Amino acid sequence: MIDEPWTLGAESVIYKIERWGQILLLKQRPKKPYLLQAIDAQLRQSRTSRECKMLNVARGLGIPTPAVHWVDRSSFTIAMDYIEGTRLRELVQDVPPKTLEKLCVRLGRLVGLLHMGDVVHGDPTTSNVIVDRIGKMWLIDFGLAEMNATTEMKGVDLHLMKRAFETTHWDIQNEMLDAALTGYKQTLGENANSIIVRMEEIRERGRYH
């Protein structure tokens, strides 16, 4: 294809290209050798279409997401805006606690906005949050996102966020979660409560079954 990959995701190869004076990012889902051919193609196809659709759905709900320029269904590749910035994952190490708290409140608000529109992200980790140079927060990686989300699905989404804080930012996970839930409640109001309760229930279930 073009040049060397810029980075590798868990399920994707990422390229940066220049088109019409603009930097674009290509997210390609390569073949997985251990999967049956037909299943592999179907999975890559469905994740690619889903990501494309859900990036747009989320933007419609007011969440900053990269705009999709084109999709190549034969190579399972999406061309989207390259968001120049730093992932929340890296910022966690670098910013003072007060700033981190504010960032997590904002992340919680964005997840709240998604859930208010009955959409779940599906992989709400700090690697999928980019803060750009003017401080705007973007969400990426919508290949597992879903519409018509139920309380259970939203509870799972919060649980996944909590687990991401736990496993990658264990020393400050509680502060991060508190801040994120504060932001979440700011967006969802009363409706946040049943989902947060469900998040706790899902955690308990995971522990005892």
Residues in 21-50 that interact with ligand ATP by CB under 6 A:
25, 27
* 123 has catalytic annotation: yes
Q: Is residue 140 within the footprint of ligand ATP (CB under 6 A)? A: yes
Q: Is residue 80 within the footprint of ligand ATP (CB under 6 A)? A: yes
Helix (H, G, I), strand (E, B) or coil at 27: strand
- Contact (CB, 8 A) for 87 and 35: no
Give the nearer residue to ligand ATP in terms of CB position, either 79 or 199: 79
Q: Is residue 92 within the footprint of ligand ATP (CB under 6 A)? A: no
For residue 9, the minimal CB distance to Mg ion (Å) is: 5
Handedness of CA 201, 202, 203, 206 (dihedral sign): positive
User: What is the SS3 string spanning 147-166?
Assistant: CCCCHHHHHHHHHHHHHHHH
Binding site for Mg ion (CB under 5 A): 127-128, 141
The item of Mg ion, ligand ATP, none sharing an interface with residue 66, based on CB under 5 to 8 Å by kind, is: ligand ATP
Contacts of 173 (CB under 8 A, 6+ apart): 162, 165, 166
For residue 79, the minimal CB distance to ligand ATP (Å) is: 10
Helix (H, G, I), strand (E, B) or coil at 43: helix
Residues in 151-170 that interact with ligand ATP by CB under 6 A:
none
- Contact (CB, 8 A) for 129 and 88: yes
Q: Is residue 66 within the footprint of ligand ATP (CB under 6 A)? A: yes
Which stretches within 95-191 are classed as H helix? 97-116, 151-168, 173-188
- List the catalytic residues: 123
Q: Could you list the residues that contact ligand ATP (CB under 6 A)?
A: 7, 9-12, 14, 25, 27, 66, 80-83, 87, 127-128, 130, 140-141, 143
